[in-house]
Structure 1
Amino acid sequence: MIKSLWIKIILILFFLDYLSKIIAKILLSFNFPIKFKFLTLILIYNYSTAFNLFKNLNYIIIFISIIIIYNLYKLLLNINNKNLLGIAISIIIGSILGNLSERILHGYVTDFISFKLNKFCYIVFNLSDIGILIGLYIIIYDIIYNN
């Protein structure tokens, strides 16, 4: 029962990410950002990872992503009655799958959510990136408070 929940989480996050990127490409394809008070929606095709690491080295990013997914999935199968940890790992797997599938199909990842940190620095990301961070935060919380 619990493991079927984890599979559902993986699939839901994968499809939400996929759908959000399709919507972003439709709404933002004319290169006109949509601005809100705290964030901007802008279409960016990311050929690297965070902090511009591995730029134009998709095969390395794909290989690392597959290894991470494989190991997280093995870990997920061996978790017994640790709901929070299982949910966190499922969130991370679904999120990595979202970016991985786009990178395999197109050679890039669609980023479209932007926060300006200051006048010189801004970040652009997508729902998968948020999912990975949320999953990591849940794992850290679980380690600190439920260990």
Structure 2
Amino acid sequence: MAKTLSKQASGSLAPWLGIALIVILVDQLTKIAVSKVLAYATPYPLAPFFNLFLVFNRGAAFSFLGTAGGWQRWMFTTLGVAAAFVICYLLKRHGNQRMFSTALSLIMGGALGNVIDRLVHGHVIDFLDFHVGTWHWPAFNVADSGIVIGAILLVLDELRRVRGTR
């Protein structure tokens, strides 16, 4: 009986790893494409509020620690890999919770997409540039989008859990 209950409580990792893999693939394919097509640090306007703008980020979000001596590459790589292991553990335990698991899958895919950049290039490739007038949001990529969307879903999932509407 205990085996049946624990098996039902946990879920298969396959669908959640599939979501993470899709994020990684879309992220890496878009980075390859923009790296081949765009000139570095040259804006390519697509809308009054949006440019494609190829830049390299050696740090973390908003180029935090981007000018450090190079150690940050390995710290953020280690952090991303460690996060992926923790997320796999959580997915295995809570795979039956769809929103929670989707959120974690998006975060893991985004983290690993940026880890791949750090390992292969020594920096993260960013290219999405939203702006209002002359004020520009820091450039980001598909992996970053996965992380942010996943974080928003985690908050929504927690709000639903606290309110008992899940």
Amino acid at match of 2:90: L
Q: Secondary structure at the match of 1:103?
A: helix
- When Rg is computed on C-alpha atoms for both structures, the one with the higher figure is 2
Alignment of 1:46-125 (within 5 A): 46-55=57-66, 56=70, 57-117=72-132, 119-125=134-140
Amino acid at match of 1:15: L
Give me the identity figure in percent: 28
Amino acid at match of 1:46: N
Cα deviations by residue, 1:80-121 (Å, 9 ceiling, x for unpaired): 420111111011101111000110111001000011255354
Corresponding residue number in structure 1 for 2:28: 18
Task: Report the count of equivalent residues.
Answer: 147
Structure 2 distance, partners of 1:113, 1:130, is 10
Amino acid at match of 1:14: I
* Residue pair 1:45, 1:110 contacting (<8 A) in 2 also: yes
The structure-2 alpha-carbon separation of the partners of 1:49 and 1:80, relative to structure 1 and needing over 3 Å to count, comes to closer
* Residue pair 1:2, 1:83 contacting (<8 A) in 2 also: no
Structure 2 distance, partners of 1:58, 1:30, is 21
* Residue pair 1:54, 1:60 contacting (<8 A) in 2 also: no
Corresponding residue number in structure 2 for 1:27: 37
Structure 1 distance, partners of 2:87, 2:27, is 19
Name which of structure 1's ranges 3-12 and 24-33 shifts more when overlaid on structure 2: 24-33
TM-score, scaled to structure 2 = 0.81
Corresponding residue number in structure 2 for 1:131: 146
> What is the aligned-residue RMSD (CA, Å)?
1.8
Name which of structure 1's ranges 61-70 and 23-32 shifts more when overlaid on structure 2: 23-32
Corresponding residue number in structure 2 for 1:4: 14
**Residue 143 (str. 1) matches residue 161 (str. 2):** no
Structure 2 distance, partners of 1:65, 1:19, is 20
Q: Secondary structure at the match of 1:78?
A: helix
Amino acid at match of 1:134: I
Gaps of 5+ in 1: none
Structure 2 distance, partners of 1:76, 1:103, is 25
